[in-house]
Amino acid sequence: MRSSRNPPPPPSSSSVQEATKALGLRLREIRKNAGLTARALAGQAGWHESKCSRFESGGRRPSEADLRAWALHCGVPQLAEELVTTARGIEGMYVEWRRMEQTGLKRAQESVLPLWERTRRFRIYSSWLIPGPVQTAPYIEALLKSIRDRRGLVDDVEDAVRVRVDKQRVLHEGDHRFALLLEESVLRHRIGGPEVMAGQLRHLLVAASLPSVSLGIIPVTADRTSLWPVEGFFLFDEAEVNVELVSAHLSVKHSHEIGMYVQMFSDLSELAVYGSAARELISAAVESLR
């Protein structure tokens, strides 16, 4: 049985693992700057020498107490809170859906409200669904019912739909700006049946006319030789990226990784069509439903 004093091993996500390794490199740098060997530091802290090695290699995530002890024995106690904050960020990066949705879908929808409200610039790329800010209630209901059934969740779909629709007020309030980038195939994925999908596509045409919204669609005819579709992501200002995986919700907050998503959004945007050309693709998708 794992001791409650030690945090669990890093979750299975490349971003989390890379962040854990980066923290380990930072700890190694602090130790070396203090002129200490791993054995000497372990001796001062009352640890086995291998504990230091596992922290520095990213094989084990240190607890907050471990980080404070590391800073203290390396003679830099002022760095303790910085290290703790970094570790907390790593712990919050990867959240399994079963944890996030264990009390129902409504709570999961509410959890992102503060982030939506404080964000000014949204950049959203989707390769499989119409993005949340411009979804219709019937489209949302079809999605959430599918998630409820697939994951065996509490049935609070009606309440969750209301919360999700209410979040869309940010489209009309304040100085929020939305850059939406969709693969054309998204327009053809029939969610909720032809009638629901037709209503969703017509709503997308209306939403695209809002002054706060820029809509780009990447045609299926675009040359994807060097840039193919990637996982969908939400970029909130340049502070955070959210990615929806099959098993979990990934929150990226490290500036280097955020920069990669910013660049990817920019590169994908160059493949998209806008204005009348985008509207023609949407209208064609509506016609295909008849």
Contact 247, 211 (CB under 8 A): no
- What is the distance between the alpha carbons of residues 18 and 39, in angstroms, rounded to a whole number? 25
Half-sphere exposure of 13 (CA within 13 A, CB side): 23
Q: What percent of the chain has pLDDT above 70? A: 94
CA atoms within 13 A on the CB side of 93: 24
**Does the structure show a pLDDT above 70 at 5?**
no
28 sits in the region (left: phi over 0; alpha: psi -120 to 50; else beta) called: alpha
Q: How confident is the model at residue 13 (pLDDT cuts 50, 70, 90)?
A: low
CATH class of 14-92: mainly alpha
User: What is the model's pLDDT at position 233?
Assistant: 96
More reliable by pLDDT, 107 or 233: 233
Range in 82-96, 197-211, 217-231 with the lowest mean pLDDT: 82-96
Closest alpha carbon to 250 in 88, 131, 108, 93: 93
Residue 15: band (very low, low, confident or very high) from pLDDT cuts 50, 70, 90 = low
Residue limits of CATH 1.10.260.40 in the chain: 14-92
Give CATH for domain 95-288. 3.30.870.10
Instruction: Collapse the DSSP code of 143 into the 3-class scheme (helix H, G, I; strand E, B; otherwise coil) and give the result.
Output: helix
Count Cα neighbours of 24 within 13 Å in the Cβ-side half-sphere: 19
Work out the pLDDT band at 253, boundaries 50, 70, 90: confident
pLDDT at 204: 98
- Does the pLDDT at position 8 exceed 70? no
At 290, the pLDDT band (50, 70, 90 cuts) reads confident
Alpha helix ranges (H) inside the chain = 14-33, 38-45, 49-57, 64-73, 80-91, 97-100, 105-110, 113-118, 137-151, 157-167, 194-208, 255-269, 275-288
Q: How do residues 35-81 score in pLDDT, each as one tens digit?
A: 999 999 999 999 998 999 999 998 888 999 999 999 999 999 999 99
C-alpha–C-alpha distance, residues 38 and 36, integer Å = 7
Pair of tokens at residue 211 = 């002054």
Residue 54 is given by DSSP the state H
Q: Which part of the chain is CATH 3.30.870.10?
A: 95-288
Which residues make Cβ contacts (< 8 Å) with residue 37, sequence separation at least 6? none
Q: Look over the chain and give the mean of its residue pLDDT values, rounded to a whole number.
A: 90
